[in-house]
């Protein structure tokens, strides 16, 4: 494969999922053979075998990283055993972040009360482990921000796969947090125009790019399983929106990762 050497980075994908069965190592090889830089896969304590698969994925390349947390969809099933397994995995895997944790008031697959309760506990764990927090938020940004403020969380925070509005995005950035943009930014629908405006205004030093694969394949692959190498389409679109070379955008994204997701990063409040 032709070397692209533009340092594309996939900040958030789910290589442990069934869609990648039998193809994980080849997927990672394709990513790095393309000249791409870093890949972050997310482990799920509720999914049998996720931790074991993720440990194997980490062995494929030194530039594969991982994170884990209890997803809000499963807050009704949060137990001391789940929490213990999280602590153990993060300890022995060298996870660089704690996520995705947060609130989802769009699907409400767990009760809002349990989601908030578990989210507060996840914030406490991230603080205890001195890890950046990666947020899942659907129609819940004001409550997420209020909870972070009430708990006085002082580590880096990234809102992954952002789909909120401009007002909340501006508040997220005002607090010194980061926003990660997925392939939704490429969708050729008027209803996603707002997200392109948000991507355009995010400062380079507060931006990440991701696939959330196997979900959210960008144009022209919508409807198909996504894969980390397609982060190129997301980054290219954001660079186009900003009117800058994609190499400049990717350089910023990689710097953001190095300064934020390394030991000791963000040990003082960002704002």
Q: Residue 267: is its pLDDT beyond 80?
A: no
pLDDT of residue 138: 98
The residue whose two tokens read 């994908």 is: 13
pLDDT above 70 for 13: yes
| Measured CA distances, 222 to 12, 60, 93, 105 (Å) | 18, 28, 33, 25
Sequential DSSP letters for the chain: -----S--EEEEE-TTSGGGTTTHHHHHHHHHHTT--EEEEEE-TTSTTHHHHHHHHHTS-TTEEEEE---GGGGGG--HHHHHHHHHHHHHHT-SEEEEEEEETTT-SS-HHHHHHHHHHHHHHHHHHT--EEEEEES-HHHHHHHHHHTT--S-EEE-S--S-HHHHHHHHHTT-EEEE-GGGG---GGGHHHHHHHHHS-GGGEEE---TTS-PPTT-TTS---GGGHHHHHHHHHHHHTS-HHHHHHHHHHHHHHHSSTTTT-S---
- Written as six digits, the tokens of 76 are 């009704």
The CATH number covering residue 145 comes to 3.20.20.140
Q: Assess whether pLDDT exceeds 80 at residue 4.
A: no
Is 252 among the domain residues?
yes
Confidence of residue 263 (pLDDT cuts 50, 70, 90): low
Total domains in the chain come to 1
Cβ atoms < 10 Å from Cβ of 112: 15
Cis before 220 (ω within 30): yes
Please tell me the predicted confidence (pLDDT) of residue 176: 97
Residue 266 lies in a domain: no
Q: Is the pLDDT score of 3 beyond 60?
A: no
Residue range 8-29: mean pLDDT, rounded: 98
- Asked whether residue 2 carries a pLDDT value surpassing 50, the answer given is no
Select the more confidently predicted residue: 3 or 97: 97
What percent of the chain has pLDDT above 90?
94
* Average pLDDT estimate for 84-91: 96
pLDDT at position 52: 98
Q: Is 265 domain-assigned?
A: no
- The pLDDT of residue 24 is 98
Query: What's the pLDDT band for 266 if we cut at 50, 70, 90?
Result: very low
Does residue 142 lie within any of the structural domains?
A: yes
Mean pLDDT (whole number) for 7-17: 98
Report residue 229: phi and psi, to 5°: -65, -20
* Contact indicator for 231, 246 with CB cutoff of 8 Å: no
| Contact by Cβ (8 Å): 88, 61 | no
Alpha-carbon distance 122 to 118, whole Å?
Answer: 6
On whether residue 269 sits in a domain, the answer given is no
Using CA atoms, how far residue 270 sits from 154, 161, 175, 177, in Å, is 7, 21, 7, 8
4 falls within a domain: no
Say if 213 falls within a structural domain. yes
Mean pLDDT, all residues of the chain? 94
- pLDDT surpasses 50 at 269: no
The answer to the question of residue 91 being in a domain is yes
pLDDT at 270 over 50: no
pLDDT value at residue 11: 98
Distances (CA, A) of 77 to 47, 54, 103, 114, 162: 12, 22, 14, 9, 25
Instruction: Kindly report, residue by residue over 168-188, the tens digit of the pLDDT.
Output: 999 999 999 999 999 999 999
pLDDT digits (tens, 9 = 90+) for 30-61: 999 999 999 999 999 999 999 999 999 999 99
Query: 203 burial class (0-12, 13-18, 19+ CB within 10 angstroms)?
Result: exposed
pLDDT the model gives residue 209: 98
Is residue 252 within 8 A of residue 205, CB to CB? The reply is yes
Bridge partners of residue 207, in order along the sequence: 179
Q: What is the pLDDT of residues 206-238, one digit of tens each?
A: 999 999 999 999 999 999 999 999 999 999 999
Domain of 186?
A: 9-260
* Whole-number pLDDT of residue 97: 97
Entry pTM: 0.95
């Amino acid at each position: 494969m032709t070397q692209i050497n533009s340092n594309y980075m996939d900040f958030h994908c789910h290589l442990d999922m069934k869609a990648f069965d039998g193809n994980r190592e080849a997927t990672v090889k394709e990513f790095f053979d393309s000249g791409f830089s870093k890949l972050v896969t997310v482990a799920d304590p509720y999914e049998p075998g996720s931790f074991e698969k993720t440990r194997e994925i980490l062995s494929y390349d030194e530039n594969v990283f991982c994170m884990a947390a209890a997803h809000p969809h499963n807050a009704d099933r949060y137990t001391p055993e789940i929490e213990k397994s999280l602590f153990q995995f993060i300890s022995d895997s060298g996870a660089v972040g704690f996520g995705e944790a947060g609130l989802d008031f769009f699907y409400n697959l767990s009760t809002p009360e349990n989601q908030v309760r578990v989210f507060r506990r996840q914030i406490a764990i991230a603080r205890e482990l001195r890890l950046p927090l990666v947020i899942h938020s659907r129609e819940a940004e004001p409550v997420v921000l209020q909870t972070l403020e009430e708990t006085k969380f002082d580590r880096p925070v990234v809102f992954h796969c952002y789909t909120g509005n401009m007002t909340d995005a501006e508040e997220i950035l005002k607090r010194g947090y980061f926003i990660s943009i997925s392939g939704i930014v490429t969708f050729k629908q008027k209803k996603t125009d707002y997200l392109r405006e948000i991507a355009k205004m995010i400062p380079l030093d507060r931006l990440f790019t991701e696939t959330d694969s196997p979900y959210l394949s960008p144009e022209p692959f919508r409807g198909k399983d996504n894969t980390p190498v397609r982060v190129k389409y997301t980054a290219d679109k954001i660079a186009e929106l900003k009117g800058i070379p994609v190499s400049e955008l990717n350089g910023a994204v990689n710097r953001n990762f190095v300064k934020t997701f390394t030991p000791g990063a963000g040990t003082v409040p960002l704002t």
